[in-house]
Amino acid sequence: MGRKVKTPIGIGIIGSGGIAQAAHMPGYAAYPDLCRIVAVADINPEVAKAAAEKFNVPHVFTDYRDLLKLKEVDAVSVCTPNYLHKQPTIDALEAGKHVLVEKPMAMNAQEGREMLEAARRTGKKLQVALNMRFSTGVRTIKRFIDAGKLGEIYYARAQALRRRGIPGWGVFTQKDKQGGGPLIDIGVHILDATLFFMGHPKPVSVSGMTYTKFGTREGVVGLMGQWDPKTYTVEDFAVGLVRFENDATLVIESSFCANIEHDIFNTTILGTEGGAQLNPLKLFREEEQTLLDITPFGLREVNSHQQEVYAFLQAIVNDTEPEVTAEQGLMATEIIDAIYTSAETGKEVVLR
């Protein structure tokens, strides 16, 4: 590491639909001195064409393998559905391209391991698009943790809960294409942020349970569009308990649909010297025999997707390790995989 590369970096987009046009492509467009988008690919030619026209991209493909043949492409964003993360990522790495792959890293841990192995074999950067890591709230709490203000982190509760938020579009309700429901879709974000706070200790065992109580029923209110109950094959609620090598524990809850007062997207951190919660952002300490609730003020909000892209570009330019490494992305995927396995088998899963 340490060898700088020339700019602008040539960017290719594999999968040019929603997340590509809403997050990745605007992110790259924000840094014209660092990069330029030179090609897009999508199996739907109309989607690919629309993305290219919107961002003034010269090359349009319906097969990503043709995109990978372009010498001017140095790096790619893989913005395909979950079941199409692995192969384009491996193919891109083996074609000599750096990769920013959308979350979750993969459908399951085995796929994730194959992707990590390809990155190590080729020596190319592989960053997982867990943009919440770059948000103002997450960065603020992490600064306090790194300064020792929370002491030893021994417990965390992560929640990504929607009251009525089953997606009415895409493949979010199809297990064979998505890998799971809310846990792998929105739960992965809060799980990654929580692991980041805890310092990524090694998970040693996982227990979990999943429930499908609403998705297969007719007439359930859909605040994010209406889905087809007949094709709903994922959970609508999941819960897991993770034990770590350092004796810390983490509980995660995630739902598309649950009878709660309101949506919750939060993590609670307990440490020996203080605690924290993400939303609303607060810290809790005891000083001078006084209990303190601390509310940070005057923080500058950032575009986390844009910051994620910038971190990826900086890792390429400066030949440094990505801020969200493939190993960290794999850890979250292994935990999610183990929760699903535990739910299916009714047994605790021991991780190697």
Question: What is the per-residue pLDDT for 219?
Answer: 95
210 in any annotated domain: yes
Q: How far apart are CA 134 and CA 157, in angstroms?
A: 20
User: Which strands sit side by side in the sheet containing 203-211, from one edge to the other?
Assistant: 290-294, 282-287, 274-277, 264-271, 153-161, 249-255, 237-244, 203-211, 349-350
Question: What is the per-residue pLDDT for 7?
Answer: 85
CATH number of the domain where residue 205 is located: 3.30.360.10
Per DSSP (E only), the strands in the chain are 9-14, 35-41, 59-61, 75-78, 98-102, 126-129, 153-161, 203-211, 237-244, 249-255, 264-271, 274-277, 282-287, 290-294, 349-350
Looking at the structure, tell me whether residues 157 and 269 fall in a common domain: yes
Question: What is the per-residue pLDDT for 52?
Answer: 98
88 in any annotated domain: yes
pLDDT band at 352 (very low <50, low <70, confident <90, very high): confident
151 in any annotated domain: yes
Q: How far apart are CA 24 and CA 11, in angstroms?
A: 10
Percent above pLDDT 90 for the chain: 98
Quick: pLDDT tens for 336-348. Answer: 999 999 999 999 9
Looking at the structure, tell me whether residues 276 and 141 fall in a common domain: yes
Count of other CB atoms within 10 angstroms of residue 22: 12
4 in any annotated domain: no
Looking at the structure, tell me whether residues 115 and 141 fall in a common domain: no
What's the structural domain count of the chain? Answer: 2
319 in any annotated domain: yes
Looking at the structure, tell me whether residues 205 and 342 fall in a common domain: yes
Count of other CB atoms within 10 angstroms of residue 286: 11
pLDDT band at 6 (very low <50, low <70, confident <90, very high): confident
Looking at the structure, tell me whether residues 47 and 59 fall in a common domain: yes
Quick: pLDDT tens for 16-68. Answer: 999 999 999 999 999 999 999 999 999 999 999 999 999 999 999 999 999 99
Looking at the structure, tell me whether residues 186 and 71 fall in a common domain: no
| SS3 per-residue string spanning 216-231 | CCCCCCCECECCCHHH
Looking at the structure, tell me whether residues 185 and 202 fall in a common domain: yes
CATH number of the domain where residue 23 is located: 3.40.50.720
DSSP 186: I
Inter-CA distances, 209 with 133, 237, 293, 348, Å: 26, 9, 34, 10
Looking at the structure, tell me whether residues 309 and 237 fall in a common domain: no
Is residue 347 classed as helix, strand or coil in its secondary structure?
coil
Range of the domain at 19: 9-132+305-324
Q: Return the residue matching tokens 């001078």.
A: 288
- Angle between helix 109-122 and 86-94 (nearest 10): 10
- Angle at alpha carbon of residue 24, lines to 35 and 253, rounded to 5°: 145
Prediction pTM value:
0.96
Task: Look at phi and psi of residue 349 and say left if phi exceeds 0, alpha if psi is from -120 to 50, else beta.
Answer: beta
181 in any annotated domain: yes
214 in any annotated domain: yes
Looking at the structure, tell me whether residues 268 and 141 fall in a common domain: yes
Quick: pLDDT tens for 266-310. Answer: 999 999 999 999 999 999 999 999 999 999 999 999 999 999 999
Q: How far apart are CA 152 and CA 188, in angstroms?
A: 24
Q: Going by C-beta distance under 8 Å and a sequence separation of 6 or more, which residues neighbour residue 115?
A: 85, 86, 89, 90, 93, 101, 105, 106, 126, 326, 330
